[in-house]
């Protein structure tokens, strides 16, 4: 019996995110959009290690599987990593002091490549969408004759800024400040103390060698997908268009909003609490799954929120939180503290939320822009400083710049820090980008069309032998 022609077979896309909830979520959203854009044509599968399956299922469950093609789940083994007990495979489940073990293991090609080779061989996809941190997957995909697309869970500007900062010579920083090259904006000046660890490494040759591998993967891959939209980062999107074979800007992938929350769970309790608050009265605070805030700083935040007199919803990792004595009783129903997962997209969309205090991770930036909520940024993770420097001059938020002082932000400063800025225009542009005929919607369909065309052109050339 003759095999179906490539045009009639489903386009099987395998997506492989890094071991962080902030990466798994956007990959799940992208898989949803790929499957929904061409029902019956695209078969999307997201692959994670066993302990990350619940994280992925939770992200997928927030979509409505009844209306769109389902997203499949595949698994592959997490490698044995010194310092990590069995079953600890995600940043959100590791103690702050041990978080670097996840990065070290996940970024080690020697440890990771065998699992990815077996995964790609067993799933037999027509295309691979890989986290850029797994740069070796471009080579694996090429070895079996399928295209590999790298997906950036952060935006065009922070990714380009990070690539530049890795090569910054901090020993020659004037006044302890690094100025990014003019193509990124002459006014972007970053204190050395705020640079990512990679840029402050005592082994610059090792860091630059890793950067060269990432650059090589970019050059060899089929294309680049970024969770951003053109009107937010037009200048930096254009740089990718000029420098890459193909570039697709498909965000914000968190749109459209997920389906309704299940009654009685932590998420619905947050919404029930917000329903009782006046419009634009609540300050929402969340510092993401990768941020590790010190206990003294959390204490200052708690006291500052108490002194502010404003209603607040605070999402914080439970193992780090030790509230001041009598704090809960003094705050009462004016504040709600959530120590588990919270439905951030639904919270930001709620009319009671008036401001967002954020670590400025890229997912939070996009979700805030989508909701049109003004925000105050605080630095905790790698891309924060680049995003904060970019957004603050644009008027989308207010960035804390107290880097020259003590690391703690006093409670009095927290109490005074609620500021408003206009982001409604960006919100409208984000929704328009994802709507039918919008720039991101068009790029998503173009990505699918290009992969179908590549499959057709390469029919009969695939090899299932990995060497």
The structural domains of the chain, ordered by start, are 11-256+434-457 (3.40.50.2000), 266-427 (3.40.50.2000)
pTM of structure: 0.84
> Is 398:422 a contact under the CB 8 Å cutoff?
no
> Is 15:29 a contact under the CB 8 Å cutoff?
no
Residue-wise pLDDT tens for the chain (467 aa)? 445 555 568 999 999 999 999 899 999 999 999 999 888 899 999 999 999 999 999 889 887 655 555 799 999 999 999 888 888 999 878 776 677 788 888 989 999 999 999 999 999 999 999 998 999 999 999 999 999 999 998 899 888 877 777 766 666 666 677 776 666 565 667 777 666 665 665 555 666 677 677 777 777 899 999 999 999 999 889 989 988 889 999 999 999 866 555 544 556 789 999 999 999 999 999 887 656 677 788 888 899 999 989 999 999 876 667 889 999 999 999 999 998 778 888 899 999 999 898 877 888 889 988 998 888 776 544 444 444 444 444 444 444 444 334 445 555 555 444 434 457 888 999 999 999 999 999 999 999 999 999 998 876 455 544 43
3-state secondary structure the chain: CCCCCCCCCCEEEEEECCCCHHHHHHHHHHHHHHHHHCCCCEEEEEEECHHHHHHHHHHHHCCCCCCCCCCEEEECCCCCCCCCCCCCCCHHHCCHHHHHHHHHHHCCHHHHHHHHHHHHHHHCCCEEEEECCCCCHHHHHHHCCCCEEEEECCCHHHHHHHHHHHCCCHHHCHHHEEECCHHHCCCCEEEHHHCCCCCCCCCHHHHHHHHHHHHHHHHHCCEEEECCCCCCCHHHHHHHHHHCCCEEECCCCCCCCCCCCCCCCHHHHHHHHHHCCCCCCEEEEECCCCCCCCHHHHHHHHHHHHHHCCCEEEECCHHHCCCCCCHHHHHHHHEEEECCCCCHHHHHHCCCEEEEEECCCHHHHHHHHHHCCCEEECCCCCCHHHHHHHHHHHCCEEECCHHHCCCCCCHHHHHHCCCCCCCHHHHHHHHHHHCCCCHHHHHHHHHHHHHHHHHHHCCCCCCCCCC
């Amino acid at each position: 019996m003759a095999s179906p022609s490539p045009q009639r077979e489903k386009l099987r896309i395998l997506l492989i995110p890094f071991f962080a909830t902030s990466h798994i979520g956007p990959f799940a959203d992208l898989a949803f959009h790929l499957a929904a854009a061409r029902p019956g044509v695209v078969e999307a599968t997201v692959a994670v290690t066993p302990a990350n399956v619940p994280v992925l299922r939770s992200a997928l469950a927030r979509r409505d599987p009844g209306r769109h093609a389902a997203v499949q789940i595949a698994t592959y083994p997490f490698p044995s990593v010194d310092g990590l007990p069995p079953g600890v495979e995600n940043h959100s489940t590791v103690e702050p002091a041990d978080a670097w073990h996840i990065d070290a293991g996940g970024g080690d090609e020697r440890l990771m490549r065998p699992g990815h080779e077996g995964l790609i061989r067993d799933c037999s996809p027509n295309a691979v969408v890989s986290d850029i941190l797994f740069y070796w997957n471009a080579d694996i995909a090429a070895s079996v004759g399928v295209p590999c697309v790298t997906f950036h869970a952060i935006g065009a500007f922070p990714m380009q800024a990070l690539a530049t900062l890795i090569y910054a010579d901090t020993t020659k920083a004037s006044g302890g400040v690094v100025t990014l090259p003019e193509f990124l904006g002459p006014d972007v000046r970053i204190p050395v103390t705020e640079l990512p660890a990679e840029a402050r490494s005592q082994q610059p040759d090792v860091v630059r060698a890793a950067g060269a591998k990432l650059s090589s993967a970019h050059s060899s891959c089929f294309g680049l997908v970024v969770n951003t939209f053109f009107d937010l980062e037009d200048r930096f999107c254009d740089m990718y268009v000029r420098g890459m074979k193909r570039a697709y800007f498909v965000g914000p992938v968190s749109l459209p909003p997920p389906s309704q929350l299940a009654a009685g769970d932590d998420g619905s309790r947050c919404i029930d609490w917000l329903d009782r608050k006046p419009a634009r009265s609540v300050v929402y605070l969340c510092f993401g799954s990768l941020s590790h805030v010190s206990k003294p700083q959390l204490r200052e935040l708690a006291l500052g929120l108490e002194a502010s007199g404003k209603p607040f919803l605070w999402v914080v990792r439970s193992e780090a939180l030790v509230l001041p004595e009598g704090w809960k009783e003094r705050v009462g129903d004016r504040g709600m503290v959530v120590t588990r997962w919270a439905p951030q997209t639904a919270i930001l969309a709620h009319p009671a939320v008036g401001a967002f205090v954020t670590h400025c991770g890229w997912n939070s930036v996009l979700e805030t822009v989508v909701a049109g909520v003004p925000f105050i940024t605080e630095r905790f993770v790698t891309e924060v400083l680049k995003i904060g420097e970019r957004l603050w001059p644009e008027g989308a938020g207010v960035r804390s710049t107290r880097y020259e002082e003590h690391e703690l932000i006093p409670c009095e400063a927290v109490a005074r820090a609620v500021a408003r800025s206009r982001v409604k225009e960006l919100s409208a542009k984000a929704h328009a980008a994802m709507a039918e005929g919008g720039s991101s919607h068009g790029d998503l369909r173009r990505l699918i069309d290009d992969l179908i065309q590549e499959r057709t052109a390469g029919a009969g050339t695939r090899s299932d032998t990995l060497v």
